[in-house]
A and B are shown apart, each in its own frame.
Chain A
């Protein structure tokens, strides 16, 4: 059986908000090390990989592997019934067909319980190769989100170029073109505003901005984001969690 407790329901709410626009139904695999999810978005452009280590929970118990087949929008609907600072418990018996969610406000002596029906989901898996990326950029998650939102007014696609001078985002559409360039920098007072670039060779890739904007909904989970790119390959975009990560593998647009 699974029993996992979080001190604040907002932790799970934010994670679900970061993935719900891309995923419909997917399996969450639970074992003694934690919860994991790997699922393609409906159009197979983005793969979402979520890891929530058991250390990230205030209490965690999972004696044997449990697969939770969930509709992510149904989970989001139920989570809306929890206050952000409620204590949240996830519970599922072995071979049960439901996930029990308990929301507890210890001050008000309120306990709400919701049973979410589980589904058998035949999920497609992709083998992700271990990759040494040509460029790695760590930057503010909020700044990335803002930059992409600004450029989405111009075009459906953004080109990202990374070289030793910095990282440049550019877009071109009917009304004109625009770009934003960030130089590597260290901000001692606000470390999350630093831009760190590790590079073995310059990279330039283009991506669909609609999908990218869905990915950056994870910005509420972490102050920084790690972008990793290699020419002609999907980018890896990672938001670190206190014990785990939300990672996206994002297929670029390729010249015909």
Chain B
């Protein structure tokens, strides 16, 4: 099954 991760899981925040 696939799950939805937020963008911050891929891009670093600042």
Q: Which residues 1-14 of B have a CB within 8 angstroms of A?
A: 1-14
Kindly provide the distance from the CB of A228 to the nearest chain B CB, expressed in whole angstroms: 14
Tell yes or no: A95 within 8 A of B by CB. Answer: no
0/1 per residue, A122-146, Cβ < 8 Å to B? 0011111100000000000000000
Other A-B contacts than A234-B10, A253-B4, A255-B2, 7 sampled, CB-CB below 8 A, are: A44-B7, A46-B7, A47-B11, A125-B14, A128-B11, A249-B7, A256-B1
Count of chain A residues near B, Cβ 8 A: 23
A251–B10 contact, CB under 8 A? yes
Max chain A CB contacts within 10 Å: which of B9, B11, B13? B11
Kindly provide the distance from the CB of B11 to the nearest chain A CB, expressed in whole angstroms: 4
A-B contact count (CB 8 A): 52
Kindly provide the distance from the CB of A212 to the nearest chain B CB, expressed in whole angstroms: 12
Alpha-carbon gap, A230 to B14, bound state (A): 23
Q: Which residues of B contact A43 (CB under 8 A)?
A: 6
Alpha-carbon gap, A120 to B9, bound state (A): 27
Sample 8 A-B pairs with CB under 8 A, ordered by A number. Answer: A47-B7, A125-B14, A127-B14, A234-B11, A249-B11, A253-B4, A254-B3, A255-B1
Q: Which residues of B contact A125 (CB under 8 A)?
A: 13-14
Alpha-carbon gap, A254 to B5, bound state (A): 7
A233–B10 contact, CB under 8 A? yes
A127–B11 contact, CB under 8 A? yes
Alpha-carbon gap, A40 to B13, bound state (A): 11
Name the contact of A253 in the complex, choosing from B3, B10, B12, B13 (C-beta under 8 A).
B3
A124–B13 contact, CB under 8 A? yes
Name the contact of A126 in the complex, choosing from B2, B4, B5, B13 (C-beta under 8 A).
B13
A126–B8 contact, CB under 8 A? yes
A157–B2 contact, CB under 8 A? yes
A251–B14 contact, CB under 8 A? no
Q: Which residues of B contact A37 (CB under 8 A)?
A: none
Q: Which residues 102-131 of A have a CB within 8 angstroms of B?
A: 124-129
Name the contact of B4 in the complex, choosing from A47, A124, A251 (C-beta under 8 A).
A251
Tell yes or no: A208 within 8 A of B by CB. Answer: yes
A208–B4 contact, CB under 8 A? yes
Tell yes or no: A45 within 8 A of B by CB. Answer: yes
Kindly provide the distance from the CB of B13 to the nearest chain A CB, expressed in whole angstroms: 6
Tell yes or no: A206 within 8 A of B by CB. Answer: yes
